[in-house]
Amino acid sequence: MRPTRTRPTRRNGAPALVLTATLVLASCATRIPVAQEADPSAGLPREASVYLRADRPLLEEAAGALLAPADLRAVRPFLARTDRVTAALVLPRNDSGGSGAGPGAPETSEVFGIAEGTYPAGAAAFRLRLSREWRKEGRTLVRRDGKLRIAFAGRQVLAASTSDLEPLLDRLAVPGPHPVPGDLRPYWEAPGALWIPRPGETAERILGAGAPRVPARGMLLSLNPGEAVTGYSGTWIFAFESERDARVYAPICRLAHLAFIRVVHGTGTEAAAALERTVWTAEGTLIKASGFPLDLSSLFRALKAALPESSQGS
């Protein structure tokens, strides 16, 4: 009797492919830990010269003001999933001989950002890994031209930078102190905010050795919805080391605010109205100027005028 020949079982590759893809997506989405109950923006570099924060409505308004229609359509899915973006700008060395460069300052400006929201992290990372425009380096996905690096920390955090991203990813797991001091944090938690620590050093990096150095801990611009349909109500907080410094340098704060208003609104009736609506108060080591109107297009114009060209091209 001839033995019965068993036909080889046809192997279906689909389950294996699905399993492999699932493992890849899961690893991409969960490889980078984030400290629980910690603000992810505490992972931003401590040596930054400027910090920015924007919630979704401000992001959408900024995108509409800054992007071409095609680019705006491309970023809308990302904006719809994003609750907040926090960014840090590390300014380059100043070649004019100023001492503001500081040890370890970069040759060109570096930008770091953390987006918080709900992202299809695994699927997005998997697609980028298959793209010829991106390559994988450690935990980071790097664009082929090297100008952008991104990484997903689970489904809630997207980190990005124009230079080495690994130190920021390490700080997400073990964050250090928040870049904004505790007494200023309520102003930072506004829909939009800008924090400039060590403003004297920042001015020196931008303007050179001759820039004035005011002994302030920092300057914080806080944005809240204004009375108009569009636009915001601004508050400047000038933070000093002591109440005496706050009293001595209060006139300098007024001059700084005047210069800012003129850059944003020009020298006409809008500037005069903004200055008239500004309310000045002193609270211990803090000098505050509040209630002046701002619109995003004017604010972006002021920021572009203030920052060096190398940072605008980053």
- Check residue 306 and give its pLDDT: 59
Range with the poorest average pLDDT among 43-52, 63-72, 79-88, 175-184: 63-72
Highest-confidence segment of 15-24, 186-195, 300-309: 186-195
Q: What percent of the chain has pLDDT over 90?
A: 39
- Check residue 206 and give its pLDDT: 67
- Check residue 6 and give its pLDDT: 47
pLDDT confidence band for 28 (50 / 70 / 90): very low
* Integer Cα distance of 59 and 109 in angstroms: 22
**What are the pLDDT digits (tens) for 224-256?**
987 765 578 999 999 999 999 999 999 999 998
Looking at the predicted structure, is the pLDDT value of residue 217 above 50? yes
Would you mind telling me the total number of residues written for the chain in this entry? 314
Residue 262's nearest CA partner among 305, 296, 202, 227 is: 305
Looking at the predicted structure, is the pLDDT value of residue 307 above 70? no
- Check residue 130 and give its pLDDT: 78
Structure tokens, 185: 């944090």
Phi first, then psi: give them for residue 297, nearest 5 degrees. -60, -40
Range with the poorest average pLDDT among 110-124, 162-176, 199-213: 199-213
Which residues, at least 6 apart from 156, have a Cβ–Cβ distance to it below 8 Å? 34, 116, 117, 118, 119
pLDDT confidence band for 53 (50 / 70 / 90): very high
pLDDT confidence band for 301 (50 / 70 / 90): low
Domain ranges across the chain: 30-312
Residue 155's nearest CA partner among 123, 178, 130 is: 123
- Check residue 212 and give its pLDDT: 61
Average the pLDDT over 29-36 and give the result.
65
* Integer Cα distance of 174 and 100 in angstroms: 29
* Integer Cα distance of 201 and 17 in angstroms: 55
Distances in Å between the alpha carbon of 125 and those of 115, 134, 154? Answer: 15, 10, 11
Q: Which residue has the higher pLDDT, 123 or 75?
A: 75
**What are the pLDDT digits (tens) for 175-205?**
888 999 999 999 999 999 999 998 877 777 7
Looking at the predicted structure, is the pLDDT value of residue 51 above 90? yes
* Integer Cα distance of 207 and 42 in angstroms: 28
- Check residue 19 and give its pLDDT: 31
- Check residue 310 and give its pLDDT: 45
Average the pLDDT over 209-227 and give the result.
81
pTM for the full model? Answer: 0.81
- Check residue 181 and give its pLDDT: 93
Looking at the predicted structure, is the pLDDT value of residue 13 above 50? no
